[in-house]
Structure 1
Amino acid sequence: MRAPGELYAIIRTAKLKSSVAGSEMSGKHGTPPQCIDDAADHELRLKPIPNADPSKLSSNRLLIFVDGRCEDLDFEEAKHRGLLRHDLFRSLVVDRLASAGIPIQAVRSDQVLAQQVMVSASHEFFLSTKASDPELPVAGLSIDDRYVRWRRDSVDFLRKRFGDRVVAIVEHLDELTPHLTAVVVPLVEKAVKAPGRASKGKPAAPIAWRLSAFDVFNKKTLDHLWTEYGDAMKGHGLRRPPHRSMVTSTDVKEFYTAVADAAGTAEKLEKTLAFSLPPVEGRVFAESATKYRDRAGLAVEQWRQEIAELLRTLHCQAKAVEHLRKRETELRRALREADERRSVEEQKHLELQRQHDAMRVMTTDIVAARVLETLEIPLVVENPQILRADLADGRVVRTSSKGFSITGPSPKDCVAGRGAVELLMALFRSTATDAFKLCVACFGEAGIGAIHAWTHRRFAGRISQEDIHLLATRLKPHKAKAATDRISPGQQDVPEDRQLKQPGEDVDR
């Protein structure tokens, strides 16, 4: 449950469909979907709402977004213009889909047409210091500059987060806690999948608008949505509720039900305790003392029975309140432990992130073009993918995103490779040890990373001839011979640290 004194920024979502089957109303996986027309009836107050005050209906407002324009209307003006109707949300969604090139006939009957996004805050955030002010739309609420700023920032957040996908926002001030409910069309730009199996010869699929609630409102994006709204409301003293908090709507309903029952019982007890003897009928001597005593005794006995029944009710409710208090204590303890675990996990995540960044630096190679620039060897653009450098001894170095190749007067000068170490070995005709020293001297920690990358490619990624023979003994004879023949004779006798690829070889394999 919420810790005392903490105010939370609240955001919830619900799916809106053209029609809803009975099996979808169970809500086993979150808020069950609603029919878009039923949602319009509820939001626009076209049907009775038990927890809304009908006398405050005019304080509600309707914001409609069409072609980048926003119309901010109160319910009276919206009703006068004929906007408070059963199919308002459906028509706005259909128009938005049409502007994106999606006809309503192309939408499946069970597909999500729109998503309701409700934003609010803890009830205490809206309370006024004058809880009995009759001028307020809802008793106890403070519709002041703070609320106006919260409303403005919340609308700005929804429009910035979802853009022109927002077609309407309804502001409700006739309920216990003010809130804004937006209708969002889940449009995304995706590649249109062509029929049949994909092949290399087929052109890339075109990009078009698609209706996909899963891409816009999935588990990951909803978690980010909670965080983003909490960050946007920090200036109002609100924050995001803890991750995976254990409070549920059932706990809240049980609590408020117990409070309401206790209040009703207390009022009934107060009326019952205001006991008085029945008046004497007629004149003083019109009723005998015996008859009056019997009648008064009957009234007293009935009063005692009512008191006993109320005491039993109070006893049961006291037990229920005690149970709820224990439950609240357990939830607070669990919430505190969850926050502690989350802090520990965040620290572990940060430490792992630092280690990952360090390892990435330590295992990242240096491209050949950067090596040549560091050695102050001029480069020219041979074509958009290849850079060229002419050396003083007649050799030519060409670099690309895949590696480098060197050509020269002698066949021994023609080599190809990848990374800083191999390039330094080829340029200076040096050993791997000398290339290591030069790499560290020129690039520091980045040079150490290049050495690690070279070591990984040369040793961890290779299989010796003996290993292939060992594996080949477990294969069929013709497969064993094919596996052994894959080793070129030139590679068998050359030391491994000096084995450079010939020009034209794929340096990425």
Structure 2
Amino acid sequence: METLMDEGHNMTVLRAKKYHSFTQAAWIEKHVTRAIESPNVNKRFSHLNRLIIGSEQICDDIRKHLEHHSITKLRKNGVLMIEFVLSVSPSFFKQPNGAYWPDANERLKAWVNASRDWLLKEFGTNCLTAILHLDEQTPHLHAICVPVSKSFNKKGGVVHRLNARGILGGRDKLSRLQDSYAGALAPLNIKRGQRGSRATHTTLKQFYSAVNESKRICAKAALPAPDAAPASFNSWQAIVNRLSDNLDSIHDSEINKLKGIIQELVVTNEKLRHEVMSRRRNQ
């Protein structure tokens, strides 16, 4: 594959989260298949989302995968599945002015193919599902993996069990996965993110908190809340900041009015004091 031109500092993004129950798996299934609404989703583009690996029946596929490997009991608090989120810097798809690169579609296809190949090479049949989302701020993949591992019992028989520690046991293993993913994207001139970075991402919980905060501030300022959900947490945050500035401005205006009233009272009080002293001297 021809190497794409290097525009800016394009970095890999690879995050992982463990889930312990089918209840959580069902929620993830609804979220990634858009069966439930999310405020950070632009529904106008949801029809562009597409399945890259497996099927959208995540819970059913997990059950079949466990049954196929004769795993019938789940340990309490054991990890049932791991969700990986794969993406790259927005600059890989967009120019500094916000417009897409002329070859953005080619870039997207190359990144998706490289990411799919990496998932299958790294996790094999344990990677049950990968879904591409194009209805949020930056294209990204949600990959669902069930951490089935193979070992041998004392009689030499094959035994399968769930073993998330074999994949995410400690920071070193996640770091190795991030190194591996960066290696798979190297032909696209996408580099590994900063090692040991403390950079954080916006969770849905944080997003909803921002939404609620914006509504609270709108109500406090007697302003109408936005009708449509913005495309990202950052735009919500911008709204919150603008409204906060407006409130500060209103607050400052009210304080200035109060200061004026207080100043008038001070002047009036001073006049009265002088009048009282003058009357006393004349008595």
C-alpha distance in 1 between matches for 2:103 and 2:98: 8
Q: Is the aligned partner of 1:125 residue 2:103?
A: no
User: Residue 216 of structure 1 aligns to which amino acid in structure 2?
Assistant: I
Q: Shift of residue 120 of structure 1?
A: 0.3
| Mapping of residues 23-62 of structure 1, within 5 Å | 35-62=24-51
Gaps of 5+ in 2: 1-6, 211-232, 257-283
What is the CA deviation profile of residues 147-178 of structure 1, one whole-angstrom value per residue up to 9, with x for unaligned ones? 11111111111011111111111110000011
Aligned residue for 2:238?
260
Change over 3 Å in CA distance of 1:93–1:157 after alignment to 2:
same
For 2:14, the equivalent position in structure 1 comes to 11
Whole-angstrom CA distance in 1 between matches of 2:58 and 2:43: 22
Give the aligned CA root-mean-square deviation in angstroms: 3.6
Q: Which residue of 1 aligns with 2:213?
A: none
Hey, what does 2:70 align to over in structure 1?
A: 101
Within the alignment, does 1:155 sit opposite 2:155 as a pair? no
1: CA distance, partners of 2:127 / 2:30: 19
Q: Secondary structure at the match of 2:110?
A: helix
Contact 1:18/1:109 (8 A) holds in 2 = no
CA pair 236-132 structure 1, distance change in 2 beyond 3 A: closer
Per-residue deviation, 1:57:
1.2
- Offset at residue 227 of structure 1 (A): 0.5
Structure 1 residues 80-479: aligned runs within 5 Å: 88-103=57-72, 106-127=73-94, 131=98, 143-192=104-153, 204=155, 206-219=157-170, 220-249=172-201, 256=234, 260-261=238-239, 264=242, 309=253
How many residues align? The count is 220
C-alpha separation in 2, matches of 1:162 and 1:99: 16
User: Which has the larger Rg?
Assistant: 1
Per-residue CA shift, 1:262-315, capped at 9, x if unaligned?
Answer: 87469979xxxxxxxxxxxxxxxxxxxxxxxxxxxxxxxxxxx859659x9xxx
Contact 2:45 2:135 in 1 (8 A): yes
Shift of 1:112: 1.4
Listed as ranges, the gaps of 5+ residues in structure 1 are 21-34, 66-70, 72-82, 134-139, 193-202, 270-304, 313-509
Q: Partners of 1:101 and 1:141 in 2: how far apart?
A: 50
Shift of 1:185: 1.0
Change in 2 beyond 3 A, CA 1:188/1:229 = same
Distance (whole Å) between structure 2 residues aligned to residue 141 and residue 246 of structure 1: 33
Q: Which structure is richer in relative contact order (CA contacts within 8 A, separation 6 or more)?
A: 2
Corresponding residue SS for 2:19 = strand
**Deviation of the 1:56 alpha carbon:** 1.1
1:19-44 CA-partner distances (Å, limit 9, x unpaired): 57xxxxxxxxxxxxxx1111111111
Q: Distance in 2 between matches of 1:41 and 1:240?
A: 31
How has the CA–CA distance of structure 1 residues 266 and 17 changed in structure 2, closer, same or farther, with 3 Å as cutoff? closer
* Paired AA for residue 238 in structure 2: A
In the alignment, is the contact (CA less than 8 A) between 2:49 and 2:133 conserved in 1?
A: yes
Distance 1:126 1:96, change over 3 A: same
Residue 216 (structure 1) shift: 2.2
Sequence identity percentage: 25
Q: Tell me the TM-score normalised to structure 2 length.
A: 0.66
Give distance in 2, aligned partners of 1:227 and 1:262.
Answer: 37
Larger deviation: 239-248 or 178-187?
239-248
Contact 1:118–1:180 (Cα < 8 Å) also in 2 = yes
CA distance in 1, matches of 2:48, 2:94: 17
